[in-house]
A = this chain, B = another copy of it.
Amino acid sequence: MALTFEHWNPETALRFKKFVPRKGIDGFLNIRIEDVEPGKLSASFEVTDDMITMIGNMHGGCLSAFCDHVLGVVLYPVMPEGSWAATTEFKINLLKPVSGGKCIAAAEVISMSKTTAVVRIDVTNQDRLVAAAQGTCLIMAPKP
């Protein structure tokens, strides 16, 4: 059931892999894009003390924001140049507590039209599946 994509922009993929966020919520989490292929992407961040709550676990909002971010990013290399993607909805199951180490998201586009795409994400931490997400992005064509 592998999808084929009309567009594939390796320069966008390469730019993402080199990108170091300096601000924003992706900067707060310090998200790095690790691998990109058509319709698939892996990204990661290191859990820092600043993300740990009083209970001793990472705030779930870090994984929610991480998935929200990755949901859109996976689409850029397979959209026509100049398009943009916005997450319109997603659902996440937070499966296990996280208290340190690295969180790695594997995102996969499972359905895509000219205007919309559905993406699934698995997040692992220390070899455990810690979150699973599924959501929709709206694709906006480049302005003529």
Which A residues are within 8 Å of any B CB, using their own CB?
A: 1, 23-28, 50-53, 55, 57, 59-62, 64-69, 72, 84, 86-97, 110-111, 118, 120, 122, 124, 127-129, 132, 134, 136
Contacts and interface: CB of A to CB of B under 8 A. Distances in A.
A25 B62 contact: yes
B111 A86 contact: no
Main secondary structure of the interface of A (DSSP, over half): mixed
B118 A95 contact: yes
Nearest to A118: B93
Give the top 7 A-B pairs by smallest Cβ distance, nearest first.
Answer: A61-B65, A91-B91, A64-B64, A61-B68, A65-B65, A95-B111, A89-B93
19 contacts: A24-B50, A25-B51, A26-B61, A27-B50, A57-B86, A59-B65, A64-B65, A64-B68, A89-B89, A89-B93, A89-B136, A91-B92, A91-B134, A93-B111, A93-B118, A93-B134, A120-B132, A134-B134, A136-B136
